[in-house]
Amino acid sequence: MASRSPTFYILISVATSVLTMALKAGAYLLTGSVGLLSDALESGVNLAAALVALATLSYAHSGEDADHNFGHEKAEYFSSGIEGALIFVAAGAIIWSAFPRLLAPQPIEQVGLGLGLSVLAAGANLLCGWLLLKGARDHRSITLEADAHHLLTDVWTTVGVIVAVGVVYFTGWIILDPLIAMAVAVQILWIGWTLIRRSFEGLMDQAIPADERARIVAVLEQVKAKGGDYHRLRTRVSGKKSFVDVHVLVPGVMSVQQGHDLAHRLELDIIECVPHVEVLTHLEPLEDERSWDDPKQPLGSSEGHSHRAAVDLLSRNAE
CATH of the domain at 270: 3.30.70.1350
The model's confidence at residue 123, banded by pLDDT at 50, 70 and 90, is very high
CA pseudo-torsion sign 316, 254, 294, 271: negative
Give the pLDDT confidence score for residue 3 in this predicted structure. Answer: 66
Q: What is the mean pLDDT of the chain?
A: 79
Give the pLDDT confidence score for residue 313 in this predicted structure. Answer: 43
| CATH code: domain of residue 195 | 1.20.1510.10
Please indicate, yes or no, whether residues 178 and 246 belong to a single structural domain of this protein: no
User: Residue 236: pLDDT above 50?
Assistant: yes
Are 286 and 251 in contact by the 8 Å Cβ rule? The answer is yes
Give the pLDDT confidence score for residue 180 in this predicted structure. Answer: 76
User: Residue 2: pLDDT above 70?
Assistant: no
Q: Which of these three, 186, 203, 220, is where a domain ends?
A: 203
Is 296 or 2 the better-scoring residue by pLDDT? Answer: 296
Q: Which of these three, 203, 238, 263, is where a domain ends?
A: 203
In single-letter form, the type of residue at position 33 comes to: S
- Position 37 in a domain: yes
User: Residue 8: pLDDT above 60?
Assistant: yes
User: Residue 314: pLDDT above 80?
Assistant: no
For 124-174, write each residue's pLDDT tens digit.
Answer: 999 999 999 998 888 878 778 878 877 887 787 788 778 777 887 788 787
d(CA 129, CA 236): 28
Q: Which of these three, 203, 220, 253, is where a domain ends?
A: 203
Please indicate, yes or no, whether residues 47 and 190 belong to a single structural domain of this protein: yes
Give the pLDDT confidence score for residue 1 in this predicted structure. Answer: 41
d(CA 240, CA 245): 17
User: Residue 249: pLDDT above 60?
Assistant: yes
d(CA 303, CA 297): 8
Is 278 or 302 the better-scoring residue by pLDDT? Answer: 278
Please indicate, yes or no, whether residues 96 and 190 belong to a single structural domain of this protein: yes
User: Residue 243: pLDDT above 80?
Assistant: yes
Find the mean pLDDT for residues 276-282: 89
Its domain, for residue 164, covers 6-203
Give the pLDDT confidence score for residue 214 in this predicted structure. Answer: 93
% of the chain surpassing 90 pLDDT:
17
Is 145 or 25 the better-scoring residue by pLDDT? Answer: 25
Give the pLDDT confidence score for residue 226 in this predicted structure. Answer: 79
The model's confidence at residue 216, banded by pLDDT at 50, 70 and 90, is very high
User: Residue 296: pLDDT above 70?
Assistant: no
310: which residues sit within 8 A by CB, 6+ positions away?
229, 286, 292
SS3 (DSSP) at 204: coil
Please indicate, yes or no, whether residues 106 and 247 belong to a single structural domain of this protein: no
- Position 1 in a domain: no
Give the pLDDT confidence score for residue 137 in this predicted structure. Answer: 84
Find the mean pLDDT for residues 39-62: 79
What CA–CA distances, in Å, run from 140 to 201, 255, 258? Answer: 16, 39, 35
SS3 (DSSP) at 283: strand
User: Residue 34: pLDDT above 60?
Assistant: yes
